Amino acid sequence: MIIRKYTDIDAEDVKMEEARGVKKRVLISEADGAPNFIMRRFTIEPGGHTPYHNHSWEHELYVLSGTGLIRLGDTNHEISAGTVILVLPDEEHNFVNNGSEPLDFLCSIPK
């Protein structure tokens, strides 16, 4: 079992091309002995965004705080604290913080 505070984990800049103002903390991973999933916490600063991208795995997200948009295909959806999101495999998406506070969310992906 592992129990720790997320603030004890260093935040890293997301180095994907076209990402701006995005940091990530890997909260739980295979390095911790997790056999199936990786849990990450992302922070997107106001005006920041992830690139429009896709990948072969699903991921589940839970918005902790802030407001923003998720673009899924050709549609933008407003998101805020309490929003739950499922991004399916190969679904094109990106996140934009169009608010005035940081946008924080948890994201779990398969290992």
Domain membership flag for residue 15: yes
Q: Which two tokens stand for residue 3?
A: 């129990």
Those residues with Cβ within 8 angstroms of residue 106's Cβ, 6 or more apart along the chain or in another chain: 27, 39, 40, 41, 42, 61, 62, 64
Domain membership flag for residue 2: no
Please determine, for residue 9, whether its predicted confidence score (pLDDT) is greater than 90: yes
Q: Taking the model in full, what pTM does it have?
A: 0.94
pLDDT, one tens digit per residue, over 84-103 is: 999 999 999 999 999 999 99
Q: Which domain holds residue 28?
A: 11-110
Number of structural domains the chain divides into: 1
The domain that holds 16 is classified in CATH as 2.60.120.10
pLDDT, one tens digit per residue, over 15-30 is: 988 999 999 999 999 9
- Strand positions, DSSP E, the chain: 12-13, 20-28, 37-49, 59-65, 67-72, 75-80, 84-87, 93-96, 103-110
Domain membership flag for residue 33: yes
In degrees and rounded to multiples of 5, residue 55 shows phi and psi of -155, 170
Domain membership flag for residue 58: yes
Of all residues in the chain, what percent carry a pLDDT higher than 90?
95
